[in-house]
Amino acid sequence: MLLCDIGNTSYHFLEVNSAYCKNKKNSNTSIIKEYKTEVSSFNPSSIQEKIFYICVNPHVKLILSKLDNWIDLSSHVEMFNYYETMGVDRIFACEAIEDGIILDAGSAITVDIVKNGLFEGGFIYPGLNAMSKTYKNISSALDYSFNFELDLDKMPKNSRDAISYGYLKTLYREVMAQDMKLYLTGGDAKKFASIFPHAEIDEILIFKGMIKIMKKADLC
């Protein structure tokens, strides 16, 4: 069974055997393959088999709507508790958990709270690349890579740490203040794990939400 989560820049595929869907608990043992391809270079009609997807990219969404074997899962989720313009990837990540805070580190960082299986709100923060460019564009004097080894308990006295603290500590403090189990997902999850060492990294969290919805909708 083939699943795909499409973002602004990439197609993220997960191939699982059908046993995955029948398991009560989501287990990673049934994963056959997990891979990414660029939105700019991938042709979705090159895939012939049935594929279940969600997509935040409006251009790709239009193309996929014309391909019969690409099945959009977004219509199967109960939307009443989310909001209309909320990214479908955030919604499916929320569907994957019962309680906790999800930090999805992609082009944007989305931080969402789920309590008793219900979405309780969330916020959007710039992703690593976007924020790096932001500082660089303000001044060439701020053109540094972020220091993820930064001491978050100490006010910086050098430029690299001053921007790293501005980007990371502010996010860290807000996330930690929620005092909930933290799930890290998205392309930069591993980088953020160094400042959130207690977090659970789950790079297929969105796919887990997709499978949960598919089960409910009797699609697998």
Interface residue list for a second copy (CB under 8 A): 8, 56, 82-83, 85-87, 107-111, 113, 119-127, 130-131, 133-135, 137-139, 141-142, 154-159, 161-163, 165-167, 169-171, 173-174, 177
- Of the pair 98, 217, the CB lying nearest a second copy is at 98
- Of the pair 18, 139, the CB lying nearest a second copy is at 139
Smallest gap from residue 11 Cβ to a second copy (A): 17
Give the long-range contacts of residues 35-42, CB within 8 A, separation 24 or more.
Answer: 36/10, 36/11, 36/12, 36/187, 37/10, 37/11, 37/13, 38/9, 38/10, 38/11, 39/6, 39/7, 39/8, 39/9, 39/10, 39/11, 40/9, 42/11
- Of the pair 30, 74, the CB lying nearest a second copy is at 74
- Of the pair 70, 82, the CB lying nearest a second copy is at 82
Q: Which of 14, 64, 71 is nearest to 37 (CA)?
A: 14
Smallest gap from residue 126 Cβ to a second copy (A): 5
Smallest gap from residue 9 Cβ to a second copy (A): 10
Active site members: 89
What is the chain's length? 220
Residue 208 sits at φ, ψ, to 5 deg, of -65, -40
Smallest gap from residue 87 Cβ to a second copy (A): 8
